[in-house]
Structure 1
Amino acid sequence: MAGRRRGAAARRRRTARPAASAAGGVALVLMVVSRPVVWPYLAGAVALGALGAAGWWLWRTDRLARGRDRRWRHEEAVRAGHRTLAEVDAMTGTEFEELVAGLCRRDGCTEVRRVGGANDNGADVVGRLPDGRTMVIQCKRYAPSSTIASREVRDLLGAKVHFGADLAVFVTTTRFSRPSERFALQHGILAVHRDHLGLWNNGVRLLSLSEVNGRGQGDSRHRTRWKQAYGK
Structure 2
Amino acid sequence: MFDEDGSLDPLLKCLLYVILALAIGKTVWNWLTTDVSRWIAVDLCGLIADHPWWSGLITAGALCLLALLGRLLWWLPLGAGTYVGADDAFDASPEDSADLEILTFRMKQLAAMSSTGFEQACADLLVRDGFRGTRRVGGAGDLGVDVTARDHEDRLLIVQCKQYQSPVGSGHVQMFNGTARPHHGADVPIMIGLNGFTQPAITFAAHHDLILMGRPELKRWAHGQHLYEVLGISSSAQ
TM over 0.5: yes
2:235 is the alignment partner of 1:205: no
Q: Compare CA radii of gyration and give the structure with the larger one.
A: 1
CA RMSD of aligned residues (A): 2.0
The one-letter amino acid paired with 1:155 is M
Q: Which residue of 2 is the match for residue 163 of structure 1? A: 184
How many pairs are equivalent?
137
Q: Which residue of 2 is the match for residue 134 of structure 1? A: 156
Q: Which residue of 1 is the match for residue 8 of structure 2? A: none
Q: Which residue of 1 is the match for residue 110 of structure 2? A: 88
* Alpha-carbon shift at residue 189 of structure 1 (Å): 1.3
The gaps in structure 2 that reach 5 residues or longer are 1-95, 234-238
The structure 1 residue matched to 2:143, chosen from 111, 121, 124, is 121
Whether the 8 Å CA contact 2:148–2:159 is kept in 1: the answer is yes
The one-letter amino acid paired with 2:100 is A
Whether the 8 Å CA contact 2:190–2:213 is kept in 1: the answer is yes
The one-letter amino acid paired with 2:151 is L
TM-score, structure 1 normalization? 0.55
The one-letter amino acid paired with 2:172 is E
**Aligned with 1:148: secondary structure?**
coil
Q: Which residue of 1 is the match for residue 24 of structure 2? A: none
The 2-side partners of 1:117 and 1:188 are apart by: 25
CA deviation digits over 1:4-36, x for unaligned, max 9? xxxxxxxxxxxxxxxxxxxxxxxxxxxxxxxxx
The one-letter amino acid paired with 2:193 is T
* Alpha-carbon shift at residue 76 of structure 1 (Å): 7.6
Greater shift after overlay, 132-141 or 202-211? 202-211
2:173 is the alignment partner of 1:150: no
| Structure with more of its chain in helix, by fraction | 1
CA deviation digits over 1:155-198, x for unaligned, max 9? 11122121111110011210111110111112121111111100
- The list of structure 1 runs, each at least 4 consecutive aligned residues, that deviate by more than 2 angstroms after superposition, is 73-79, 209-212
* Alpha-carbon shift at residue 74 of structure 1 (Å): 8.4
* Alpha-carbon shift at residue 209 of structure 1 (Å): 2.5
The 1-side partners of 2:170 and 2:216 are apart by: 19
TM-score, structure 2 normalization? 0.54
* Alpha-carbon shift at residue 210 of structure 1 (Å): 2.6
